[in-house]
Structure 1
Amino acid sequence: MLSSSQIEPVVRMALAEDAPWGDITSESLIPEGALATASLIAREPGVFSGGEVFTAAMRLSDARIRVAELVDDGARFETGAVLATVTGPARAVLQAERVGLNFVQRMSGIATLTARYVTETAGTAARIVDTRKTTPGLRAFERHAVRSGGGFNHRFSLSDAVMAKDNHLAVLTAGGRDLTQALREVRTRLGHTVHLEVEVDRLDQIESVLAAGVDTIMLDNFSLEQLREGVTLIAGRALIEASGSVNLDTVGAIARSGVDIISVGALTHSVHSLDLGLDIAVGPWPDQP
């Protein structure tokens, strides 16, 4: 679950960005005492994510707003479903509308896409995981949405694990340095809880990397035949991650090759925001009984 310390600073920044000196449209058109009721409606089917973030956008706009979340994050819904209801001062609801929708539409889009990838890998042991290809500042939200869709999270940041990719290895082995020995030296400098993952792009690199005692080997842009051969070579001596050329058409076959993890950057960098809308009714007016 997302914590308030993760949600509130981001939502406050978004609200301030959208109305730095107030919402002059609502303040000009809507009487100060008017009340609003609103429903968050699905315009297309999907998987929900971002309920707490949507609620925070409303409540941080005005603490008098009340939000009833009618579905949980991770729940599937059909077109026309009412996902949440909102009641409170009309000006504040209207001011928070776009910020709340922006977050919940994107998060639900990520959850929905993730769920499609998870469905394609059903019956295998492979996990669908995200990458660091997230929107700056929104990583916690987007990775929560991946979990809502049934996926898993890779390392959250550069501080969480050692992940040696091709450019790292090029520097590490500059001058003809032996790869296995270099990785062993890296391992001796790491704490016992630190995970070590190494990317390879050729089959002939696998044994050298395994000899260093790594935890995970990433097979990058391997063909299906190469993935199957890599799984056979590694033979359970490390976790196997497949990366590169992963899409909804290829992910099922990749999962059936026997890999443990499939990382998919598209979950967060190429997602379609789901079409959700906020239907609002305003009233009563202050001068009405």
Structure 2
Amino acid sequence: MPKDYYKLHQTQFEIFIDSALKEDIGSGDHSSLSCIDQESKSTAVLLTKQEGILAGLDLAAQIFARYDPSLKFKPFAVDGSKIGVGSHVFSISGTTRSILATERVVLNILQRMSGIATLTHKLSEKIKHTSCKLLDTRKTTPNFRYAEKWAVHIGGGTNHRIGLFDAIMIKDNHIDFCGGMTQTLKKTASYLEQSGINLKVIVECRNAKEIQQTLPFSFVSRILLDNHSIPELKSALKQINHKKPTEASGNINHENLVAIAETGVNYISMGALTYDAKNIDLSLNAL
């Protein structure tokens, strides 16, 4: 994932920020309007309440700036930093009403992204002695996918496709609906030629026969081995014999992750990186 991830996907993030703020503020922050003077200026600091890997700081800065460009954001850390209990992450200064209006959206994003980055880092560390890379999936929170994938990258993982539009992934249902692997891949080859698009093509192979049928197709970028046991995975990798990059997925957790990585598979994709991550506890406190 490129360093300028926000700029690369700026349109999507701006849509997300506007939607998130509208969802929370609605017709107005009546709590603050009722008791905070319009001229009031304040400073608040973000404090951490548990250890983890920080993620979402750059996005938080964009949220503050988009809502109220006059707010002064001062970071004390960077995305990817290890944080401990009581760490000061940033300060925000300016109109009190603006700080309060953006507080919850910023906290939600930082807590969620930091939780994902922390889990990704923990699991990546377990397999760092191998050449295997940890991938995320499309099992993400609706309308929050770009941020969650950004968090995976910050935590040391590698991003899979963002959606249905930036890679072709032929899975079991595609194969069954088309009447078999060879027929499916012939149709895919025709589609690529006619459309002129240049996309990675990942193909799920359930058994040795499907692997044999897939290998001759040069446009296939990677072979996906889903729900394979360790012996089945080793057998499949032996058959593939480094002719295509490989990816393992399905029922992979912290208990079997290392054993799967040690088979020599190139990638492991885990939906749990996003759906099983627990938020990091953070708070924004007035100074």
Using the size of structure 1 for normalisation, the TM-score is 0.91
Query: 1:25-83 CA deviation, whole Å, 9 max, x = no partner?
Result: 11112222221111111111111111122122222332221111221111211111111
Contact kept in structure 1, 2:171 and 2:203, CA below 8 Å: yes
Query: 1:90-142 CA deviation, whole Å, 9 max, x = no partner?
Result: 11101110011011111111111111111111111111011111111111111
Size of the aligned set, in residue pairs, is 277
Q: What is residue 52 of structure 2 aligned with on the other side?
A: 46
> Please, which of 189, 192, 202 is the counterpart of residue 197 of structure 1?
202
Q: Which amino acid aligns with 1:195?
A: K
Contact kept in structure 2, 1:130 and 1:153, CA below 8 Å: yes
Flag as ranges the 4+ runs of structure 1 deviating above 4 A. Answer: none
Contact kept in structure 2, 1:61 and 1:93, CA below 8 Å: no
Query: 1:179-208 CA deviation, whole Å, 9 max, x = no partner?
Result: 335413422431473222111222342212
Matched, 1:114 2:120: yes
**Structure 2 portions without partners, runs of 5+:** none
Write the distance in 1 (CA, Å) between the matches of 2:230 and 2:208.
12
Q: What is residue 259 of structure 2 aligned with on the other side?
A: 253
Contact kept in structure 2, 1:242 and 1:261, CA below 8 Å: yes
Is the partner of 2:6 in helix, strand or coil?
A: coil
Q: Which amino acid aligns with 2:113?
A: M
Contact kept in structure 2, 1:164 and 1:199, CA below 8 Å: yes
Give aligned-pair identity as a percent: 36
Q: Which amino acid aligns with 2:84?
A: E
Query: What is the deviation of 1:7?
Result: 2.5
**Structure 1 portions without partners, runs of 5+:** 282-289
1:169-208 to structure 2, matched below 5 A, reads 169-173=175-179, 179-190=181-192, 191=196, 193-208=198-213
Q: What is residue 64 of structure 1 aligned with on the other side?
A: 70
1:87-102 to structure 2, matched below 5 A, reads 87-102=93-108
Write the distance in 2 (CA, Å) between the matches of 1:60 and 1:21.
18
Query: 1:123-177 CA deviation, whole Å, 9 max, x = no partner?
Result: 111110111111111111111111000111111111112211010000111xxx5
Contact kept in structure 2, 1:129 and 1:264, CA below 8 Å: yes
Q: What is residue 151 of structure 1 aligned with on the other side?
A: 157
Contact kept in structure 2, 1:62 and 1:92, CA below 8 Å: yes
Larger-gyration structure (1/2):
1
Is the partner of 1:2 in helix, strand or coil?
A: helix
